Structure 1
Amino acid sequence: MNKTVAIDPPCAIRTTCPYCGVGCGVLATPDGANGMTIKGDPDHPANFGRLCSKGSALGETTSLDDRLLHPQVNGERASWDSALDLVAKKFRETIALHGPDSVAFYVSGQLLSEDYYVANKLMKGFIGSANIDTNSRLCMASTVAGHKRAFGTDTVPGLYADLEQADLIVLTGSNLAWCHPVLYQRIVAAKKARPQMQVVNIDPRRTATCDIADLHLALAPGSDVALFNRLLAEIQQQGALDAAFVADHVDGFEAALDAASSCDSSITGLSEAQIQQFCNMWISTGKVVTVFSQGVNQSNAGTDKVNAITNCHLATGRIGKPGMGPFSVTGQPNAMGGREVGGLANMLACHLDLENAEHRSAVKTFWEAPQMPEEAGLKAVDMFRAVGAGKIKALWVICTNPAVSMPDADAVRDAIAGCDFVVVSDLTADTDTAKLAHVILPATGWGEKDGTVTNSERCISRQRAVLPPPGEARHDWDILADVGRRMGFHAAFDYQSPAEIFREYAALSGIAGQLGRDFDISGLVEMSDDEFDNMIPLYWPVNAARAGGRFFGDGRFFTPSGRARMLPIHFRTALTQPTPEYPFRLNTGRVRDHWHTMTRTAKSPRLSQHLAEPFVELHPAEAEALGLKPADLARVTSPQGSALLRVLITDRIGRGQAFAPMHWTAQYASAGRVDALVAAITDPVSGQPASKSAVVQIEKYDAAWYGFAISTRAPDPRSPYWASARAPRGWRIELAGTETPEDWEAYARALLGTPDAQALSVQDPAKGAARIALVEDGALTGALFIARAPVPVSRSHLVHLIGGAPQDALAGRPAANRPDPGATICACFDVGVNTILTAITEQHLLSVDAIGEALNAGTNCGSCRPELAALLASTQVPAAAE
C-alpha cells in the first residue's frame, strides 16, 4: 500500500490515461511549455507500457488555446465567489419553491472517483434527491443491471489476465481493435504465443477486430439474445452443463433453459452451419472469456443480452476462474469508479442499493445527512425529458456534453436551452452544452487533476497532476464541496484534499462490506497523504479478508440466497423497425483516433488525419441504388433529426444497414451531430439508450460545388456543409454548397480570415474550378480548392505546406521529386497509405511485421495493423492457374 515506485525517467510522473476503460498507465514528463512527452508505463498491469494512438498523443492535447480560465455568468467574466454564491442561491431557492427533485446533476465517467463521490453525497445526502446521473448511463448501465440480476451486485468477475489465459475469446458488440486497442494487442500477443487460441468476433460489421478472428459472425443487428439462447440450449443438449455447480450455486436454470429452447436462432440471419460451429467451439473449449461492450449494452434489450451471456457461463461454471468468464469492457476512463461511488440515479455509494432501507439508513448515518431519497432518481433520458417539460428547473452538467452525446440530441439541446438555470463545469466554454449555460465554471482536466480512477478489471489507479491548473481553474471536488458549504452543509463538505475524500470513501466501503456488498476497500482507510500520493495500482476488494483476485469461482454470490441467478430471456425486437420511408438501420459508434465529442482529441492534428470528417458507411449495392459515389455527401434523416455526412462505400457493412460515428459536434461540423438521429428509446431495466438501432433514410446531397481549404487561422465557414480539423500548423476544412459564390477570391479571404493577403489564383468558371493560394510575408497562410465534384487534391501534402513557402500549393499535389505520403494509416507515426504501398512494392515486404520494421507503422498501439494487412493483401498477385 505504501510502496514507493522508482520513476524512470527521473522527471516523469506516473498517471493514468483519460480515455477508455482499459485504464493504461502513463509516464508523463512536462516540457515547461504546458505540454508533455508521453510514454506508456511498463509497470502498470493494464498495459505494461503499451499505449494506443490517442494515449500516445496526450501531450498534444493540453494546449490552453480554447481553455476556460475564469468563471463566467451570462457570458461575462465573474469571480469565483460571485459565481458560486449564485449557484448555491439558485439551487437553494429552486429547492425551497419546488422541492429537491426540481434540481439535477448530470456528471461524467471522466470525473475522478473523488469528484464523483462528492457530487453523489451532495445530491443524495444533502439536497435529498436522487436526480444525479452520468454519461456512463449511455455506455454500461445495461451491464450494471445484468450483473445485479445475475450476481446480486455490479461485480466484474474476472481480470485482464484472463484474456491471455483463455483458449477461446468471444468478442461480441465490441470493435476492440479500435475502441480498446491495448486489450486487443494483448490478445494479439497471446494468440501469437499460443496459436491454438481461438477468437470469435460477433458483429454485424466486418471491423478491424476481425483481423484476428477465426470466425466472424455477421449477425443481424440486435439479435445477440437469439444466438446466446441457442448456445444455452446446445450446452444442455451436448451434455456440457456443470450440473454440480448449478445445483449448488445457481437458481433459475430450468426457466432459463425453457426460454432459450423456445427461441428461434434463425433470427440472427446466420446460417445453421455458422451457428453450430460457434456453439461447438464454445462448448468444446473449457477456458472461454466472452467480452462484450456497447453493441450489447446500447439496446432496448441490453440487460437481457448481458444475462443471456451470463446464463451460458453460469450453466457451465465457467466464471471467476483463470481464463473463464463474462467480461464487460467499459467505454470511459472511470465508468467503474462512477459505479462504485453511486454516480447513477438508482445506486448508492459502494454498491449499496438506494431502494434498500437498511442501506439507505447506513449511508445516511455515516454521512450524518439530513435526508435521503427513498426512490431512484431520473435516469439520463428521463432527466432531460423532465428538463424539457420544466419539471427540472436547475441543472448542473459536469465534464460532459449532452447536447451532442444524448439520443434525440436536438430535443436535449432545446431542453437545456429552455431550462431556468444551467451550470456547466468544463475545460472550455466552446462545447455545444456550455454555450447554453447561465454559469460556466472552469474545471481542471487530465494532466491537472489529482485522484483515482478504476478500470474495467477493478484496478484502482492514480491520476496525478503533471501541470498546474491554468488560470483560475479548480478541481471538480473542490467546486462541488464549496457549493455544498455555501448551501449550508459546511461540516460535511469541509474537504482539503482528494486523499481525505478517498479515506472517507474507503471507510464507507467497510460498512458496505459488513452489509454483504462486494465493494470493500476498508483496508485503505488509514492511508496517509504520502501513501495516497505514492499509491501503486491495486485491485479491489482490499480488506482484512482479501485483496484483489477474481469473484465467483468459489460459487459464492451476493444475492440474498448467496446463489447466482439465471434468468429466462426471450428475444425482443428493436422498438424501431425500418419502413419504406426509413429503410436503413443505423448503427452508431466510434472511430479509431477520436474520443467522445472530441474536446480533447480534436486538439491533436495527427488524430484527425485518419478520418477527418463525419461519415456514413454504406454497402456498395445500397450506394448504387441511391446514386451515391465514394466521397459524395448524403443527407441522413430520421424521425428525430438529420445529419449531412460524407459517404464511405464498403462491403464491410451489410445490406439495409448504415454506420456513422458519434464524435462530431457543432464546433467541428455543420451537421455532423449523429445522436440527433437516434430515438430516445431505452432498455426498460437499465435505462440505457438504444443508440444502435435508429432508422433512417439516406439521399444524395446535390451540391453545386465542393471545396477543400487549409489555413493558419481557424476558418469561418460559410457554407451548408463544412467539417474542420486541426492540421500540423493550422487547420483543414472540407466544404460544399448548393449556391455558387460570385467571387471565389472574396469567399476565400472571408473563409480564411486573410483580407489583406496576396492572392495567387487559377480559375476555370466553365468547369466550376478554382484554386486560390493566399500569401502573407512570403508564407502560405491559406489555400482554397473548388470543384463540381469532391476535390481531387492531396490533402496530406497540402496540410504540411501551411505556413511555408507557397510553391506547388496551387498544384494541389507534390512535385514529381516529392513523394505524396497519402492518407494517414498509422496515426502514431504519421505514415500514409502511399508510403506504405511504395515500401511494400519496392522493398518486397511480405508481412505486417515487415512493414513495421521498415516504417514503424503498426508497432505502437497496433490498431492500424488490420489496415496494413488489407493493403498488403491488395498488392499480392494471385498465382497463375496451372
Structure 2
Amino acid sequence: MKQQTTCPYCGVGCGITAELSANRILSVSGDPQHPANRGRLCVKGSTLHETTAPEARLLLPSIEGRAVSWDTALDKVARQIRQAVDQHGAGSVAMYLSGQLLTEDYYVANKLMKGFLGSAHVDTNSRLCMASTVAGHKRAFGADAVPGCYEDLEIADLILLVGSNAAWNHPILYQRIQAAKQANPSLRVVVIDPRATASCDLADLHLQLQPGSDAALFNALLVYLADQGHVDHAFLLQHAEGFEQTLATARADTPDISIAATKTGLDNHDLTRFFRWFAATERTVSLFSQGVNQSSSGTDKVNSLINCHLATGRIGKPGSSPFSLTGQPNAMGGREVGGLANQLAAHMDFSPENVDRVQRFWNAPNMASEPGHKALELFNAVERGEIKVLWIMATNPLVSLPDTQLIRRALKRCELVIVSESMADTDTLQLADICLPASSWGEKYGTVTNSERCISRQRSLLPPPGEARHDWQIICEVAKRLGFAEAFNYPHPAAIFAEHAALSGFENAGKRCFDISGLSRLSQTEYDQLQPIQWPVTTDAPYGTQRLFSNGKFFTPSAKARLIPVSSQQPMQQLTDEAPLRLNTGRIRDQWHTMTRTGRTPTLFRHRAEPFIDLHPLDAATHALQDQDLARLENAQGQFIGRVRITPGQRPGEVFVPMHWTQSFSSEGRCNVLIESVADPISGQPESKQGAVRLSGVATAWHARLLTARHLSVNLRGYWARMPQQHAMGYALADSDWPESWSDWCLQHLGQRPDLSLQTQPNGQLRACALENGKLLWLLLVSPDKHFPDLKPLDRQFARSNLTALQQLNLLKSDQDSASGELICSCFQVDDPTIRAAIQSGCHSVEALGKALSCGTNCGSCIPELKALLAQEAEDVTH
C-alpha cells in the first residue's frame, strides 16, 4: 500500500510517498505530484523509513524515572500547573515548543496557555532560526508574509543566496535552481557567505564577506542603486514609504563601495560587479536563511535586504522577491497559530483590539494581554525561579540553545520540568521530572506549512508504539483536567484545523494577510484528502495565492510597504586576545538538529561521522594542526572537541563547527556551549553565527575504533564519538595516555577482557575482540595514528550467529581490511576511493560518474563534492 505524506525535516516541505506493509514503512520516495519537490527527495528524507523502529522510543509516561499510567501523569501535570497558577500567577507557567510540532498541536498549546491559563510565556525553537525574518517582514510589510513562491526560482535571472548553504540545507530547492540554470544559461547566481560552501558550485560570484557585515553590504547597494538611477520612484511613490530617511541612513553608514569593501572585507571589483548585476536585473530573487537571521542585528539585516527590493519595486512580481528559506518543517505553521511569545493566533499581535478579538472567538476566560518571554529570556526567568512549571515539547533546548550551562542550571532549578518527547534518550529528557511519550513522524496526523506558504498534510502511516500519544491529545487531556473541557473537546485534528482556519478569517475582511477561512468548512473526509495549497485561501481565492503584494497593497496602516533605516553593527560577541577566532555554527548535509531522528540511521553518519572543526590552512599551520587531528575550541563558557578539517573554504581567523552533536553522541561535541546568551533586541533571535573562541590541539597517544553489540555507557577520560553502524554500535576513541594494560582497559570499559587480541608492539597497533557462544560482542582497533579501515565489512561480522575459528582469527588480521574512505554520496553509499577509481578509469564528468556509480543522481547534494574530486584528479594528472 502507498500513502502520501510530508517530510519532517527542512522547510522545503517535500511530499513523500511511503510504501507500507504489515505496520511497517518499507521505503519512501518523493511524491511526483507535490509542488515543492516534484518527486525529488534528499538523503535525509530518503532514509526516513530507517528511523521509525520502536527501539529507542519513549514508550511509557514516567514521573521521577518511575513508569506510571497516563492518568497518573496527566493528573500530576494538571495539579502542578493549577497549584503554580494559584500560588504564583499564570506567569509562573511556560511552554517551549518546536517547529517539529504540527499546526494542530501548536494551536491547542497556544490556546490553552494564552487564552485559558493566561500565560503568554509560550515560545518555540523557531525563535532560534526564523524570528528575525518574522520581525523584518512585519516592519516592512505589516505582516509576517513570504512574498514569493518556488516557481520564482525557475524564472529569475539573478538569484542571491545570502547566508544560505542551500545545497546542504535545502537541497531540493538547490536542485531546482541548478535545473533553472541549465535551462537558462543567462541566469546568474551570487552566493553571499563567509564560507565557500557546496552552494558555491553554482555561483557566478561568491562574495566571501566578513561575518556579520551583511547590512553594510546592502546599505552600500541601496546607495549605489540611488546614485546610478536604478530606483523605481513610481513604485515608491504609490506603494512604499520611508525611502528618503532609509537612503540617508544607508549613505551615512556605508556611503560608497570603498567603505563597503572595508566593512565587508570584499574586493572593490567584486562589489561593483554584484551591484551592477543587481541594478540591471529586474527578475531577482534573494534567498536568505540562518546566516542572516542568527545575529544580534538579524532583523536589521533582513530589512536592509528587503529595502533594496522595495527600492527597485522587485516584489510581488514573477521572478522578483525577497525570499526567506524556513529552517524547520512547520516553523511557518507555528507562526500562523501564535507559537512565538510576542504573537497571538492567526498572525495577530498583542494590540488591545487583537487581544479582545481572540478572546471573544475562543470565549477565553483568562486571556493574556501582553507578550511573554522569548526563548532566551524565558530560560533566564526559569533560572531566576520565576517560572515554576516548564513544559517542553518536541525539542532539545539543552543542546540547541546558547550557553548550555545556563540552560542546565535553569532546568535543574525549575520546580517541575515536563518533557513531551518521542525518543527515549535526549539530553533534555534526562533533566525532566515528568516524561510524556509522544508520537513521531509517520504516526502524527495534521498539517504543516512550508517556506512558500504551502499547507500540506502529514498523515499517520503507523500506530504510535507503546503508549505514545499525539501532542494535541496530551494537551487537550491536561486542559480538560484544568476545567476547560468544553473548549478542548476535539474529536479529530480536522476539528482543530477548522477552528484555526475560522479564526484566521474572523473579523478579517482583508485587513490581515494570513487568512485560510476558505478551508474552515472542510469535512473530516475533505481534510483527510487535502492537497497542498498556498495561503491565503479565502472564498475569493479558494485555490490559494502564489504571490503576495502583486497589487501593491501591504498590511501597514497606510497600506504601503515600509523601508526601514538600518545602520550596520558589529557582533555582540567580540573577539579578544583570549578568544581571537570567529566561530560559525550550522547544519551539515546528512544530519538534522540534535540527531534524535537522523542519529538512528547509520546511512547518515558516513559523510561526517564525528564532530569537526573546519579550519583555514593558515590557521591550521599557526596552531601546528594536521587534517584529522583532534582540536579544542574554548572560551570562558566551555569547550568543544572535534576533528580538524583543513579547507581553503574558510576565511583565515574563522572556524566552523556543526550544531548536531549531543552528550548522547560525543564527549565534547555540543557547539552551543561556546555561544553567549545574546540576541537581537527586536526579534530575540540568538547570535549563533558569530561566537568568539580560541583554538588548541588535543594531545593523543592513541586512537581507536570500537564496534560493540551491546549498549555501552561510555565513561572515558578522553575523547569519544558514537557512530551507529548497521549491525553494531561504533565509537571513535582517543586519549592522551597509553594504558598500562589493554586487557584491564577492556575489563573496565567493555565489561570483560578480550578473548582474542593481537598487538604488534608495546605502543603499536592493537586488535582485540570478545565473543559469546561464537557470536561477536565487541571488536577494538587501536592505533597510534588516525587511520582506520572501512568499518562496514567488520560491522557485518556482528550479523553472524557463530563465527568460525578462521573468521575469528581474521578479525585480528589487518591484511583483511579494505581501505577507509569518506562517504561522498549518501543516497547510494559511494565513497571517495570508489569515485577516484572511477575517475581514473575514464569517468571524467559528473554525468559519467552518475552513469557508472549512480552518485549524484538522486538528491544531487553530493554533486559539488563530485566536481571537487574531478578537479583534484585532473590536477594530479597535470602534475
Q: Which residue of 1 aligns with 2:414?
A: 419
Shift of 1:877: 4.7
* 2:216 paired residue number: 226
Q: 1:465 to 1:756 in 2, by over 3 A?
A: farther
What's the counterpart of residue 30 of structure 2?
Answer: 40
SS in 1 for 2:179: helix
Letter in 2 for 1:631: Q
3-state DSSP of counterpart to 2:177: helix
Tell me the SS of whatever aligns to 2:368.
coil
- Give, in whole Å, the separation in 1 of the partners of 2:810 and 2:550: 66
Measured in 1, the distance between the counterparts of 2:670 and 2:57 equals 22
Equivalents in 1 of 2:23, 2:701: separation in Å? 45
| CA shift for structure 1 position 789 | 2.9
Q: Which residue does 2:803 correspond to in 1?
A: none
What do residues 371-417 of structure 1 show as CA deviations (whole Å, max 9, x unaligned)? 22221100000000011110111100000000000000121022111
SS of equivalent residue, structure 1 residue 351: coil
- Give, in angstroms, the shift of residue 310 of structure 1: 0.4
Provide the residue aligned with 1:771 in structure 2: 767
Structure 1 window deviating more from structure 2 (340-349 vs 775-784): it is 775-784
Residue number among 289, 294, 299 corresponding to 2:285 in the alignment: 289
Do the aligned partners of 1:638 and 1:694 also contact (CA within 8 Å) in 2? no
Q: Aligned in 2, Cα 1:756/1:32: closer, same or farther, shift over 3 Å?
A: farther
1:512 positional shift: 5.7
> Which of 333, 336, 339 is equivalent to 1:340?
336
* Structure 2 letter corresponding to 1:584: L
Question: What's the secondary structure of 1:513's corresponding residue?
Answer: coil
**Corresponding letter in the other structure for 2:59:** L
Alpha-carbon distance in 1 for matches of 2:96, 2:683: 17
Check whether the contact 1:797–1:813 (CA below 8 A) recurs between aligned residues.
no
Residue equivalent to 1:790 = 786
Q: Tell me the residue number matched to 2:804.
A: none
SS at match of 2:186: coil
Structure 1: unaligned runs, 5 residues or longer = 1-10
Equivalent of 1:463 in 458, 470, 489: 458
Residue pair 2:198, 2:864 contacting (<8 A) in 1 also: yes
1:656-735 counterparts in 2 under 5 A? Answer: 656-719=653-716, 720-735=718-733
Question: Is the Cα–Cα contact under 8 Å of residues 150 and 567 in structure 1 kept in the other structure?
Answer: yes
- In structure 2, do the counterparts of structure 1 residues 813 and 351 end up closer, same or farther at CA, with 3 Å as the change threshold? farther
Instruction: Specify the alignment match of 1:7 in structure 2.
Output: none
CA contact (8 A) 1:797 1:820 kept: no
Match of 2:305 in 1: 309
Q: Is the 8 A contact 1:298 1:691 kept in 2?
A: yes
* Deviations 1:540-587, CA, capped at 9 Å, x for gaps: 111022232211121100001100000111011011121111010000
Matches of 1:47 and 1:792, distance apart in 2? 38
Letter in 2 for 1:848: V
Counterpart in 2 of 1:554? 551
2:411 maps to 1:438: no
Name the structure 2 match of 1:824. 823
From 93, 102, 127, give the equivalent of 1:137: 127
Structure 2 equivalent of residue 118 of structure 1:
108
The aligned counterpart of 1:3 is none
Q: Find 1:535's aligned residue among 530, 538, 554.
A: 530
Separation (CA, whole Å) in 2 of partners of 1:850 and 1:735? 38
2:560 counterpart residue number: 563
- Output the CA distance in 2 between the equivalents of 1:553 and 1:837: 50
Judging changes above 3 Å, is the alpha-carbon distance between structure 1 residues 273 and 567 closer, same or farther for their aligned structure 2 residues?
A: same
Kept in 2: contact 1:509–1:520 (CA 8 A): yes
Following superposition, the deviation at residue 502 of structure 1 comes to: 0.4
Report the identity percentage: 51
Q: For 1:393 and 1:288, how far apart are their aligned partners in 2?
A: 49
1:210 shift after superposition: 0.4
Distance 1:54 1:879 in 2: 35
Structure 1 distance, partners of 2:638, 2:876, is 47
Deviates more, 1:855-864 or 1:258-267: 258-267
List per-residue Cα deviations over 1:736-758 (Å, max 9, x = no partner): 123333321343355445x3863
Provide the rounded CA distance (Å) in 2 between the counterparts of 1:737 and 1:394: 41
Residue 387 of structure 1 corresponds to which residue in structure 2?
A: 382
Greater alpha carbon shift after TM alignment, 437-446 vs 743-752: 743-752
Q: Is the contact between residue 200 and residue 214 of structure 1 (CA under 8 Å) also seen in structure 2? A: yes
**Letter paired with 1:831:** V
Which one of 638, 644, 652 corresponds to residue 647 of structure 1?
A: 644
Q: Is the 8 A contact 1:509 1:521 kept in 2?
A: yes
Indicate whether 1:353 and 2:349 are aligned. yes
Structure 1 residues 244 and 515: CA distance shift in structure 2, 3 A: closer
Distance in 1 between residues matched to 2:820 and 2:697, nearest whole Å: 31
Give 1:213's match in structure 2, choosing from 199, 203, 209. Answer: 203
- Please state whether the residue corresponding to 1:186 is helix, strand or coil: helix
Deviation at 1:53, TM superposition (A): 0.6
Question: 1:403 corresponds to which residue?
Answer: 398
Inter-partner Cα distance in structure 1 for 2:246 and 2:795: 58
**Which residue number corresponds to residue 579 of structure 1?**
576
Spell out, residue by residue over 1:683-702, the C-alpha distance to the aligned partner (whole angstroms, 9 max, x if none).
01000000011100111111
Tell me if the contact between 1:402 and 1:413 (Cα under 8 Å) persists in the aligned partners.
no
Asked whether the equivalents of residues 402 and 672 of structure 2 are also in contact (C-alpha less than 8 Å), the reply is: yes
Q: Is 2:13 the partner of 1:23?
A: yes
Aligned equivalents of 2:738, 2:176: Cα separation in 1: 52
Structure 1 Cα separation of the partners of residues 577 and 768 of structure 2: 45
Which range moves more in the overlay, 688-697 or 628-637? 628-637
Alpha-carbon separation, structure 1, partners of 2:223 and 2:795:
57
How far is the alpha carbon of 1:791 from its aligned partner?
Answer: 4.0
Please state whether the residue corresponding to 2:619 is helix, strand or coil: helix
Match of 1:8 in 2: none
- Is residue 745–residue 759 contact of structure 1 (8 Å, CA) maintained in 2? no
Moved more, 857-866 or 718-727: 718-727
Counterpart residue number, 1:736: 734
Is residue 873 of structure 1 aligned with residue 874 of structure 2? Answer: no
The alignment yields a C-alpha RMSD, in angstroms, of: 1.6
Shift of 1:879: 8.6
Once residues 713 and 495 of structure 2 are traced to their aligned partners in structure 1, the CA distance between those partners, rounded to angstroms, is 47
Alpha-carbon distance between aligned partners in 2 of 1:647 and 1:611, rounded to the nearest angstrom: 12
Q: Which digits, 9 at most, give the CA deviation of each residue in 1:625-682, with x for residues without a partner?
A: 1121111111211222211211111111011101000100011111111111100110
TM-score using structure 2 length: 0.96
The Cα shift of 1:243 comes to 0.8
Q: Cα offset for 1:149?
A: 0.2
Matches for 1:71-220 after TM superposition, within 5 Å: 71-220=61-210
Structure 2 CA distance for partners of 1:760 and 1:803, relative to 1, 3 Å: farther
> What is the rounded CA distance, in whole Å, between the counterparts of 1:84 and 1:512 in structure 2?
36
> Which deviations, in whole Å up to 9, do the C-alpha atoms of 1:593-644 show, x marking residues without a partner?
0000000001110101110111111111111111211111112112222112
Q: Is there any run of 5+ residues in structure 2 with no aligned partner, and where? A: 801-806
Specify whether residues 111 and 880 from structure 1 end up closer, same or farther in structure 2 by C-alpha distance, changes over 3 A only: closer
Q: Are 1:321 and 2:320 an aligned pair?
A: no
AA aligned opposite 2:587:
R
The Cα shift of 1:290 comes to 0.2
Q: Which amino acid is the alignment partner of residue 465 of structure 2?
A: P
Letter in 2 for 1:646: R
Cα deviation code 1:411-453 (max 9, x no counterpart): 1022111210010000123111111011000000000000000
Matches within 5 A, 1:799-810: 799-804=795-800, 805-806=807-808, 808-810=810-812
Distance 1:752 1:190 in 2: 54
Q: Contact conserved, 1:352 with 1:512, CA < 8 A, in 2? A: no
Cα distance in structure 2, aligned partners of 1:873 and 1:33:
47
**613, 620, 640: which one pairs with 2:610?**
613
Q: Whole-Å Cα distance in 2 between the matches of residues 877 and 137 of structure 1?
A: 45
Q: Are the structure 2 counterparts of residues 823 and 809 from structure 1 closer, same or farther at C-alpha, using a change threshold of 3 Å?
A: farther
